[in-house]
């Protein structure tokens, strides 16, 4: 049990580094793939936290709070939507992993919903930008 706690702490630190370091780096350069890359790595790390945790709900939400605090401290320039997306992904994972076994199907559902949310937010944001440009040109 103590060894699993250490593993979960290390995975949480890696998740925070992914969100604040890699996510912040890609956001600064306005990479269109930020959500896909950071979201994909986050799915992997959250799934590993769920695998090693006995109480999956508590472990994922505790890790989420730590990651959010570190992300806010290290990369305060990240948009508010990044925090909402991170929270959505972690809460969805906590619901899925606490109600279903840690199997490929659960990870697949988490991945599909996460990437669907990323894709729809890109479409909504691009339509919002087009809408604003069309309003400004009149």
How far apart, in whole angstroms, are the C-alpha atoms of residue 130 and residue 48? 39
In this structure, what DSSP letter does residue 1 have?
A: -
* pTM (2 d.p.): 0.82
pLDDT digits (tens, 9 = 90+) for 6-54: 999 999 999 999 988 887 787 778 777 777 888 889 999 999 999 999 9
127 pLDDT above the threshold of 90? no
Which residues have CB under 8 Å from 54's CB, separation 6+?
Answer: 1, 4
Range of the domain at 44: 2-136
- Please return the burial class of 111, using the count of CB atoms within 10 Å of its CB with bins 0-12, 13-18 and 19+: middle
- Give the residue with greater pLDDT, 138 vs 94: 94
Using an 8 Å Cβ cutoff, are 46 and 89 in contact? yes
Give the total number of structural domains in the chain: 1
Among 60-64, 72-76, 93-97, 126-130, the range with the most confident prediction by mean pLDDT is: 60-64
Contact 93, 47 (CB under 8 A): yes
């Amino acid at each position: 049990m103590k060894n699993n706690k250490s593993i979960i702490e290390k995975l949480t630190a890696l998740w925070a580094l992914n969100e604040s370091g890699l996510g912040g780096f890609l956001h600064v350069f306005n990479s269109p793939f930020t959500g896909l890359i950071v979201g994909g790595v986050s799915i992997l790390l959250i799934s590993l936290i769920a695998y090693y945790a006995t109480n999956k709900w508590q472990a994922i939400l505790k890790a989420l709070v730590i990651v959010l605090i570190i992300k806010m401290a290290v990369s305060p320039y990240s948009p508010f939507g990044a925090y909402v997306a991170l929270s959505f992904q972690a809460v969805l994972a906590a619901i899925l992993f606490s109600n279903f076994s840690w199997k490929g199907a659960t990870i697949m559902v988490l991945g599909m919903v996460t990437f669907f949310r990323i894709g729809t937010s890109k479409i909504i944001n691009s339509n919002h930008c087009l809408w604003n440009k069309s309003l400004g040109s009149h």
